[in-house]
């Protein structure tokens, strides 16, 4: 646990600002004349706060959603194709249209792994858009209106049925994570959730939001 009393409120506020502006720890340490390890300690603490906040939000929502899976990490191994290619980490995501995205690492992208997440986040009667992945078979039987596009048939949209929103998040996350030149397995979920946080609050005052979270968890 960080001993918050070691730094003034002003300097902590500046560290929060530089984190929100996506300034590297090394650059922030030079600007603030603080040890880089101190900055890293705070940056990692912010990521931990973001992770906790994401998983503590356990309410179910109603609306129109897009579901998709993506794979992060090492390049695909030659000869290995499709979902679950060797060396990659599977991540499941759901996006409420005109709302927020939620992502999580999963052991695999089977129906058994994905359905509990779907049912834990989306209320019955909602509309769900997916691609043709077999794990989504039977969503109608679970109380959802389900529409699909089949990428394997070069179909990427059918009227309002598409998964362009969640795919935009995947592109954002992968572009952002490449700057770290690889992440340790145990650190990946923290950076993934940071991407979720930044994407969900991209049109808001990140510094104000993170400061509020920082003060909330500081008291825990």
DSSP string for residues in 39-83: HHHHHHHHHHHHHHHHHH----B-SEEEEEEEEEESPPPTT--ST
Binning pLDDT at 50, 70 and 90, where does residue 182 land?
confident
Binning pLDDT at 50, 70 and 90, where does residue 77 land?
very low
36 in Cβ contact with 25 (< 8 Å) = yes
Q: Which CATH superfamily is domain 64-176 in?
A: Ribonuclease H-like superfamily/Ribonuclease H (3.30.420.10)
173 in Cβ contact with 189 (< 8 Å) = no
Residue-level pLDDT at 153: 53
Q: Which tokens belong to 78?
A: 């030659």
Residue-level pLDDT at 139: 96
Residue-level pLDDT at 78: 46
- CA distances 7 to 16, 32, 76, 210, Å, are 13, 11, 45, 17
List, in order, residues 6 or more apart from 3 with CB less than 8 Å away.
none
Binning pLDDT at 50, 70 and 90, where does residue 160 land?
confident
Residue-level pLDDT at 81: 44
pLDDT at 166 over 80: yes
Mean pLDDT computed over every residue of the chain: 89
- CA distances 58 to 53, 99, 119, 212, 215, Å, are 10, 16, 11, 19, 21
Binning pLDDT at 50, 70 and 90, where does residue 74 land?
low
pLDDT > 70: what percent of the chain? 87
Model confidence, pTM = 0.88
In the predicted model, what is the mean pLDDT of residues 81-96? 78
Residue-level pLDDT at 58: 80
């Amino acid at each position: 646990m960080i001993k918050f009393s070691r730094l003034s409120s002003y300097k902590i506020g500046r560290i929060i600002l530089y984190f929100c502006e996506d300034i590297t720890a090394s650059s922030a340490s030079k600007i603030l004349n603080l040890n880089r390890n101190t900055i890293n300690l705070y940056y990692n603490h912010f990521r931990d706060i973001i992770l906790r906040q994401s998983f503590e939000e356990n309410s179910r929502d109603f609306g129109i959603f897009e579901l998709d899976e993506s794979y992060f990490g090492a390049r695909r191994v030659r000869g290995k194709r499709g979902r679950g290619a060797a060396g990659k980490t599977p991540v499941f995501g759901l996006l409420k249209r005109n709302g927020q995205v939620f992502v999580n690492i999963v052991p695999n992208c089977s129906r058994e792994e994905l359905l509990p997440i779907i049912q834990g986040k989306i209320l019955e009667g909602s509309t769900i858009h997916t691609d043709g992945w077999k794990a989504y078979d039977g969503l109608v039987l679970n109380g959802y209106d389900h529409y699909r596009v089949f990428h394997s048939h070069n179909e990427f949209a059918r009227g309002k049925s598409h998964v362009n929103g969640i795919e935009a998040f995947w592109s954002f996350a992968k572009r952002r994570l490449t700057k770290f030149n690889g992440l340790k397995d145990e650190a990946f979920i923290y950076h993934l959730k940071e991407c979720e946080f930044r994407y969900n609050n991209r049109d808001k005052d990140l510094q104000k939001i993170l400061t509020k979270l920082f003060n909330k968890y500081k008291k825990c």
